[in-house]
Structures are given as structure tokens and as C-alpha cells.
Chain A
């Protein structure tokens, strides 16, 4: 299939899925078609730029593309057009990918259901009564629904893996620092990482390969020395703390299913315990808000974004931020401001940093004994709209299994393994040691082959049948 035909195909899919899902905030039809025709010519002349040339990819709307709106699904940036490209965007452009458009998210990536978007929620392609997860809900939904071949998301506490799991696709959060954050609108700088959402593990490998690498524009970026696996047989640890109360039997069963398959293949599976992972949620809900409280200070109506009228600058900033931010964003900014404020710093933020350092050490010790750590990706399959909006903790708990990898900067991948009782996808998560990204991907691919997840969302079936 020619790139332009592929583009027309995903665009046609989008034209009927979007009305149900609302996964894209903006579609770049004209530009995309133009670029895919240029790609056609490259293929004809045997001058293809590589595996990604002409591949339609959707970009989460917290990643800057020059000349296009980047709203972060916030009212604050409803009129903001980016004057520069994120480094990952530059990389993908060089590789010849075609951007289908920008995808929906929880405002400023804060949320686990995409219900916090100022532009309305995205629906789950498997069942529109359920959330697609978040914050990269749009990016997961478009891949699941076929309105893009792959997408980029960002993951601060599970925002790639959790929606990938809810939508039955592959979601990968690389080692912190391997993919440049330059041009990703920061939520929590020490936790944020861009990664791909794809249909297959191989697609994840191809995209990761293109976007990873040192970037001189990001001081936290690293020159990765990727570790390789010595043996075909690996040691897998099952994290006890994520296989107990708080995680549904359905989710635990998927892990057990994979464990059996692994044992059949002769891999070494053991239970491991990292007691401090039980503190991960608490650590996360101090560190992420603290960092976000400063990261989001720049949205003040002075240089860009919306502005409320007022008679002084300070009043203007106060009012603009009051009108521009949604409730969840305000909550986290206030929480972070409090955790950093005089007299509370040591008690909250300072203590959280220290516990985080302990968690990092614990993971290091664990990885002396095992190559990978296996767990459910989420405590439950996708939940219904409004189900977890009453109490903030209930929503936060849906990131229980994914947050530890962010705190420790580890690469982690979620792959779909089965369906729940009510026909919603279930996944497992595999975590690796820092910079084991490629071997983690290889290992995930072998599990992908073992589990043979061959389901697709009802939305597509219905359409194909009609």
C-alpha cells in the first residue's frame, strides 16, 4: 500500500470513529495528504527514509509541533500555536512520518481517564461507555480504533501504559532520559517521559528507535548505553506488593497466565517483595504536584494563551489562571504549592524525595537478582465515566501499578494479554532496569507471541460488519 493510500485509509477510519470517540482534537488532513504523496514519490524513486517513512502517527496534544495548536486539552492554551518543534517531532519528521493530528488528554496530562479534558472526554473504542484511560487517552484510542497506525503519548505516572492497557494496545515508557523532553509541555519534570503507543511490540521498537537518543536541549537527557540480555532464559520477578488487595483478581489472573507461559518456556520466575512500593502513590502525589506547581506557573496570560481583563498585572494573572485551569489542575497546583511552602517542605516534599531515593535503591537491589519485573498494568480494566470522579484517591489508585517505574526512572511496557468478563482488554506490565529498553522490548515481544492477543474493539467490528 502506498503511503497516501494508507493515509486515506486511516483518515477514513477517523471520519467515522471520531464522532463516537473524540480522540483527536485536531486532524491534519491537507498537510498529511500532501506529505504522504511526497512519501509516495520517495518510495517510487527508492529513496525511502526508512521504516517510518509515510507512516501516519498521532501526537498527544502536549507535544509541540511548529505552526499547530498545542492546547494540553486546557482552556488556558485554547488559542496557543507553537512556534517550535519538540525534539521528538523533529526526529519523526526526519524519518518521514505523517502526523494525523493531535490527540486528546487529561488537561496538562493530569488524570487517568481523559475526563479532565477541557474539550470533552474521549471514549473507549472497546465500549464507549467506558473511559479510554489517561492521560494519553486520545493517543491510545486512535491506535486501538485504527485512526492512526501509532501514536506518541507521555507518561508521568502511567499515562501511556494505563490507557494502552484500557484500549488493548501496546504502551511503552522508556528509561527516563532516553527520549528528549524538549518540547513536551512539562507536568512533572523528573517523571515525564515520551513514548510510543502501538498495535505491536515491533512497532514500538521501530518508533522508540527513532525518538531515543541524547539531546543537547534537554539537560536530563542521557547518552544511553543499552544493556543486552546474555541468556535466552531470563529471570522474572513477580512483585508481591502488586499482587494483593487493591488489584482485582482479573488483573492478577493475567499475570498468572503469563507466568505459566513463561515457566513452560523454561524462564525462571520468582516472587519478589519491595515493601516501599506501597508508598509509591504517596510519594508521587507529593513530588508530581510540587513540580507541576512550578512548571505551570508560566501560564499567566502575559505572553501567550488566554487572558482575563484586570486593572493590574497580578489581578490579571490571578483571574487568568482561575479561568484557564480546570479543577484537577488547580487541585494539584495547590497541593504542590502547599508541599513546598515554608514550614511544610521537609514534612512533605523533602520527605517524599527521600522515600523516592529509597525506592530507587530498592529497585537497584531487586535488579541484581532478576532481569525483569512482571505485574498487572492496572488494578482493573477500564472503568465507566464518572465512576471515579467523586473521590480523588479512587482515580489516583488506578495508577497504582505504573507509578513505581516513573519514580525509579525505569523502562516499562504494557502489553495486552486478554479480555475481562465484560469484554474489556487486560494487560501485563514488564519493568526493566535502566537502559534495558531494547531487551525489555525483545522480552515483551516474546510474551506477545506466547499470549496471542487477537481481539479488536467492537467499534471496528460493527463498522466492518455493516
Chain B
């Protein structure tokens, strides 16, 4: 039996506004509990909600960025369920008329573009935070502590259609969405801070079937790694069950990071009837052309546009995708560097391999201000034209990250310029051949590993100032004619 998986993603994006969604409490990042709360976000009797204009602008931007149609007359609904960290025991959300509908995001997998259809983009408010204390195990808590600083922070929920088929695709989708909200400037987009929180709806069915299998919702995946693993695990679990002829139960499951399995969550009976109804505290919301156009003005350089620019510079789709998901400064540095190097692939490799690697090792997040695209492109050009070896280039880069040097003068002053003088190399090669007659006799063909050893010996005798490519050429000519 050939089985296929179908995945739909529901993602909550925390917006980066100054104040909360329905009250003027400041959005704060603090461990001090209940310091940014008011009658509205604490659900005190008599308090009322008034929506944040910037949050609505942001959700319109996100909807446009995700190629959605905007609902011109929308409304807020109350979603009713009892939970201690939900102050009013209803969440203000949207039901029939979400702000954005029927969009898509383009994602890159290897060298291919895929479109992930977006069903809806709607506005809602966050809940408070629960901390379960007791024995340290979540299933034997003795009490729950509640902090409402997070309560009422604007959230946008982005829901895809069930069109994702693998965990890799789900991860690529989240990465694309994350980059979109960062480039729009509407969310900090930090997964580790919970700025993006995602649930996956997974079903497995026979490949030939037109119908989806039973839907299982997976919650509590806090990183892309756990998203990937949870989906893979869940597809495997459901597949095994189907192969055994058992039916999959429709339920919500929790990803257990320690055990690396999904676990069934015991849910309260009947809790699924949310009794949505239009919030009588909030009249209908009109999002007219003017509002949409004003929001549009703030949209520039989305991941999609960045990929296009990168591809035009000569990069492959996957390299473009890598760079558009990276830091803004790296993207900018690449584009200005490649102007001078004219070699997109080696520029990409040097920036993403060497530069980022060394920065990581040196634990610096930002490029020192004396390092600019001119110096970097000069450095790349130095080893691309064989003036310095790649090893030397790495050393120069390390130096450059520590102090303001000119790569070319530094190479000259420190004797790192490679000789490509064939006569000089020939002399060195001849003496190495003479000194290693035993090895030369054992050589069978130009592919022999020992050729490398001999090249190494020449390099050593030159104190690394000659170009290894030239050495190999001359050595092979001497040995094999």
C-alpha cells in the first residue's frame, strides 16, 4: 500500500507593536509578571476592547505579502472556551470574515519553486502565560502560576490549505513566512521567543485516494527541528496504524521533545464548541482602498523580490533562497561585493562559508564597521587571481575582522603574494623530484595520491608562496610529459 501525507499549517505570528491589540498596555519583554496589565487585558468587569490601528495595518501588509484578497468589511468574533490564562474566557478572534483569504507563499526546495496555498489570515489576541509548578513534571503539577503581560498582544493566525506533503516542505514554509514577517517589519520573527508558534494538521491516506485521512493536530513544536521531527514521527505513526488496518483517531497530540514522540492530549469533553459570535463590543471593521494603499506603501523588498535579485546576479535558486533568509547585512554585502568580483558562486561561498564561519567562531554578530564590500571583494579577487592562496586569504580575513587593514597591502607586507613565476617553480620541482626518487619510481599515473604528496613537498620548500595549481601542472609535465 502506498501512503501519502497531507499537512496543513496553522501559525500564530506575534506582531511587533508598541501597545497591545485591544488596550494601551505596552508590549514588554520581561520576567517580571503582571506589570503591563490593565482592566481590558486582565478581563476585569466593565472593561472594553479598542483595536490597535497599527496591528490592522500589519495584518493587511502580511495578507498582501502572502498574496491574499483583503476582506473589505470584516468583523471580530468571540471564541468561547474556559482556560485560566484566557482572562475573559473568550478570545477575540475572527471567524467568517478574516482580513486575508485565498493567498499563497512561494517556497524553495532544492532547486524547485513550490506554491503553498494560504486559506486565511486573521487577527486575534494572545493569552496569558501559564507556568506549571510542582514536581517538575507537567502531568503532576500542584499549581499553575499566571502572568498576563502577554495577554492581549496582537497575533496574526496564518492558516494554509492542506497542501504540504513533507516535513521539509513544512519547514521551508515556516522559514518563508518567518522571513516575510521580518522583511515586512511587522514581527521580530524569533522562534525561540515564541514570536512564531505553529501547529500542524497531519493526515495520512492511500496515495490513490481523493479523500484526506483522519486529521491529527500536533502542538508544542518550539523549533524548526522539532517541527521536522514531529511531522516525520507522526506520518510514521499514522502509516503504521493504517498498514496494520487500524483507524487513526481524530485528536490533538503534543510533541514530547524529550521522548521525541507525539503524545495524545486528554481533552475536556465538548470543549470544541467555541460558540463563535460577532463581538458586540466591536462594530464592523471597514478596510477600504485607502487603508490598503497606505499599508501597501510600507511593503518593500520581500523574500520573493530578494530571491529574484539574487538569481539575476547569477546564483542558483537554493543559494538565492539561503541568502534571502539570512541577515539583511549579508544580503546587502553580497550584492555590493559581487559587483566587484563578478563571480557570484565564489562570492557566495566566501561570504556564507568563510566570513560567516569565522564570525561565528569569533562570536561576533555584526561586521566591524571598517569591513566593507570593497575590502571583501579585493580579498576575494586576490585568491581568485591566484595572487594569494586560499589559506592566506582565510588568514587575511581573520586579521581583517580584528583590525582595519587593506588586504592587498597586508598580503604584500607579509610576503603572502604567491609566485606564479614558472621558472622559480620549475627549480623547486626539480629539486623535490631529485630528493624523492623512491616515490617518483612508485608513481603509476597522474591521478596517483602521491602526486599530492609531492606537490605538498614543493609548497613546503617554498614556504607556501607559490600557487599549488601551477605547482601541480609543472610537476605533472616534468613527470609524465
Contact = CB atoms under 8 A, between A and B. Distances in A.
Contact of A220 (B44, B84, B281): B281
Interface string A220-254: 10000000000000000000000000000000000
Given A82-B44, A302-B146, 14 more contacts: A64-B45, A186-B45, A219-B281, A219-B282, A220-B281, A293-B275, A298-B44, A304-B44, A304-B45, A313-B144, A337-B275, A340-B275, A342-B275, A345-B275
A86 B48 CA distance: 11
Interface stretch (A176-184, A205-213, A450-458): A176-184
Give 3 nearest A-B pairs by CB, closest first.
A297-B89, A190-B280, A189-B280
Contacts of B44: 82-84, 298, 303-304
Interface string A81-96: 0111010000000000
B45 A297 contact: no
Interface string A127-170: 00000000000000000000000000000000000000000000
Contact of B84 (A86, A290, A300, A341): A300
B78 interface: yes
Interface string B44-69: 11111111000000000000000000
B177 to A, nearest CB: 30
Contacts of A303: 42-44, 87, 146
Interface in A180-205: 181-186, 188-190
Given A294-B277, A317-B82, A337-B275, A216 B45 contact: no
A244 to B, nearest CB: 31
A297 B80 contact: yes
Q: Would you call the interface of chain B mostly helix, strand, loop, or mixed?
A: loop
B39 interface: yes
Interface string B137-162: 00000001010000000000000000
B82 A297 contact: yes
28 contacts: A63-B46, A82-B46, A83-B44, A84-B44, A84-B47, A183-B46, A186-B45, A186-B281, A217-B50, A219-B51, A220-B280, A220-B281, A293-B80, A294-B78, A294-B80, A294-B90, A297-B82, A298-B45, A303-B44, A304-B44, A304-B45, A313-B84, A317-B82, A317-B84, A337-B275, A341-B273, A342-B275, A345-B275
Interface in B254-280: 268, 273, 275, 277, 280
A297 B88 contact: yes
B245 interface: no
Given A218-B48, A219-B49, A298-B89, A345 B43 contact: no
Interface in A273-301: 290-291, 293-294, 297-300
Contacts of B273: 341-342
Contacts of A342: 273, 275
B70 to A, nearest CB: 21
Measured as residues with beta carbon below 8 angstroms from the partner, the interface class of chain A is 35 or more
Interface string B23-35: 0000000000000
Contact of A297 (B39, B90, B283): B90
Contacts of B78: 294
A288 B39 CA distance: 23
Interface in A14-69: 62-64
B89 A300 contact: yes
Among B48, B49, B89, B90, residue most surrounded by chain A Cβ atoms (within 10 Å) = B48
A70 interface: yes
Contacts of A317: 82, 84
A130 B122 CA distance: 53
B50 A340 contact: no
Contact of A70 (B45, B51, B277): B45
B73 to A, nearest CB: 15
A293 B80 CA distance: 10
Nearest to A340: B275
Contacts of B90: 294, 297
A203 to B, nearest CB: 25
Contact of A188 (B80, B268, B277, B280): B280
A316 to B, nearest CB: 8
B48 A219 contact: yes
Interface in A84-121: 84, 86
Given A84-B39, A314-B268, A290 B277 contact: yes
Given A83-B39, A219-B283, A349 B45 contact: no
A77 interface: yes
A302 B281 contact: no
A182 B46 contact: yes
B277 A345 contact: yes
A313 B128 CA distance: 15
A46 B87 CA distance: 47
A333 to B, nearest CB: 11
Contacts of B268: 314
Nearest to A184: B46
A214 to B, nearest CB: 12
B280 A80 contact: no
A440 interface: no
A72 interface: yes
Contacts of A345: 275, 277
Contact of B82 (A84, A86, A219, A300): A300
A314 B277 CA distance: 23
